[in-house]
Amino acid sequence: MNTKILAVTLGMAGLAFGGGASANVVTLNAVPGNLYQQTVQSPCIFSNPSCTNGGFASTALPTGGNVNGYDALSPLYSGQTLLNIIGAGNSLLIGLDINEGGPAQTLTAFYMLLNNSVVDTFSTTATGNVPAGNNGNGYADYLLGNFSSFSATDTVQFRFVFNNANDGTENLFVIGAPGSTVPEPATLALLGLGLLGAHFARHRRSS
């Protein structure tokens, strides 16, 4: 889709979602050191093809540098899908992996939509507010937090607005609870076969 058309479409969608002025404020904090790696943590919600999601839906961003910016919506997630990753009782955190090849880039806005209404907002008029800290390593340079809580039956969606993308694609990924993973489809198939085999083995011993 043409970038200008996408921006207009999302802008109109934002008016329909409402809640902008009273939305909760999303925090943006730099991550000291290599604490959160996208391949170790949990799946990307905005990504390039290098982010392996194991069947978890994500929104692909343009690859390479020299992109004016992104204004993109994530897939629509069920609250249960995200709760399975972050763990019951834990707050949602999203890692932002910056790829920088020139001047510091700009995270202009980030929104969380709950049941199609904007509830959480990060928005700034500053420029160059997200300089890279762990460039090119697949680690989170920043954490987005202070999101509203949600239930298993809610729907959750995100909007990502980023300017002056001058290197590789930025990836945003959910920070999972320790030990949480998104199984690959092949892994799920093997697990199913293993359970089926165990069932038949028990059946043969009892007959």
| Strands 59-60 vs 44-47: parallel, antiparallel or unpaired | parallel
Residues 147-205: tens digit of each pLDDT: 999 999 999 999 999 999 988 889 999 999 875 545 444 433 433 444 455 444 444 54
Structure pTM? 0.77
When mean pLDDT is compared across 17-21, 58-62, 102-106, 144-148, the lowest value belongs to 17-21
Beta-bridged to residue 199, according to DSSP, are none
Nearest Cα to Cα of residue 137 among 168, 115, 93: 168
Distance CA 72, CA 110 (A): 10
What integer pLDDT is reported at residue 10 of this predicted model? Answer: 45
**Polymer length of the chain:** 207
Please check whether residue 25 is in contact with residue 148, taking contact to mean a CB–CB distance below 8 angstroms. no
